[in-house]
Amino acid sequence: MTFSNQLLYLNDLGVDNVEFTQVELRYIRMRRLLSVIYIIVFAVFGAIAAWLSSVWFEPMQGEVTFISACLVSLSLLLAIYRFFADPKKQYALREHDLSYQYGLFYRTTITQPIVRIQHVEVKQGPIERRLALASILAFSAGGQMHTFYIPGINVDDAHRMRSYILNHEVDVKDAS
């Protein structure tokens, strides 16, 4: 490891200078649609609960209405946050590491060296399966709290990334 080598690496390949790819637009739209559905569900259930309490249980009507209103406004806040925060989610795959950046007020960038990945999972929920989306999960010895996670990637890209990571592991083992 020579000094010039390090400088070259730092100038060209520092995490700041990486070009990130935004998560799929389909993923952002899916989450926006889901947020709207949450608001509607909470609003409908809240209204039903408030109406029921007014019919059957007068003394609690104020509390029930208050809790319903809280839930609706919380889901509204969450929807607004997601609307602006989701487009900030982006990732980068370099030769030797994966990075994922997220957050609106607090921007976090996590970098996971591929040599330290112990196993990889490609995960799809029912809606994601419809939209050909997937999340990639990379587990390291850092423990469950530090599982590396990128949501909202094309399912084909996710599988390609997975096999790239797995093959990378073999390369390193051969080299050592």
Partner 1 sequence: MQVSSGSFASGDWQRISAIAVIYFLAKTLRHLFGQIVFLIPVFIFINKNIKENPVLTVAIIVSIGLLLGLYAVASFLVYRYRLSSDTLEIRSGIFKKTQTHLPFSRIQNIRLEQPIYYRLFNFCCMELDTAGSIQNEAKLIAIHMNQAVALKDIILSTRKSSSGGESNGERQKNESLDETIDEHILCTRSVSDLIIHGVTNNRVWLFLGAAAPFFDTIIQYLGISLSYIGLDLQKLFDVDSQGYAVVVIAALSLTMFIMMILAVFSIAGSILTYYDYRLSRNEDRYIRRSGLLTKHEVALPLRRLQMITYKQDWLDVVLGRVNLIYLQADASVGQATAANTNKLVVPSVFPEQAQSLAEDAMKAAQLSQALYSPIHKRYILNKFLVFVIPTAVLAALIIGLNNDSWLIGTAALIAISLLGSAIAYLRWRRWGYSMDDRYVYIRRGLFGIQHSCFERHKLQQISRKQSWFMRRYHLYSVKFVLASGGIKLPFINREEIKLIADQSLYIAESSGKSWM
From 29-37, 49-57, 113-121, 126-134, span contacting partner 1 (CB under 8 A)? 113-121
Q: Residue from 109, 154, 155, 169 that binds partner 1 (CB under 8 A)?
A: 109
Nearer to partner 1, 29 or 96 (CB): 96
Q: Residue from 50, 136, 148, 151 that binds partner 1 (CB under 8 A)?
A: 148
Size of the site for partner 1 (CB under 8 A): 34
Amino acid identity, position 86: D
Report the alpha-carbon distance of residue 85 to residue 100 in Å, rounded. Answer: 14
Residue 172 binding partner 1, by CB under 8 A: yes
Q: Residue from 4, 106, 126, 170 that binds partner 1 (CB under 8 A)?
A: 106
CA-based nearest residue to 134, from 151, 148, 109: 151
Residue 140 binding partner 1, by CB under 8 A: yes
Residue 14 binding partner 1, by CB under 8 A: yes
Report the alpha-carbon distance of residue 18 to residue 94 in Å, rounded. Answer: 8
Residue 119 binding partner 1, by CB under 8 A: no
Q: Residue from 69, 110, 131, 155 that binds partner 1 (CB under 8 A)?
A: 110
Report the alpha-carbon distance of residue 85 to residue 136 in Å, rounded. Answer: 19
Q: Residue from 115, 131, 137, 155 that binds partner 1 (CB under 8 A)?
A: 115
Residue 53 binding partner 1, by CB under 8 A: no
CA-based nearest residue to 72, from 31, 37, 27: 37
Amino acid identity, position 51: W
Report CA-CA distances (Å) from 158 to 32, 63, 151.
22, 47, 10
Which residues on adjacent β-strands are paired with residue 92?
Answer: 99
Residue 142 binding partner 1, by CB under 8 A: yes
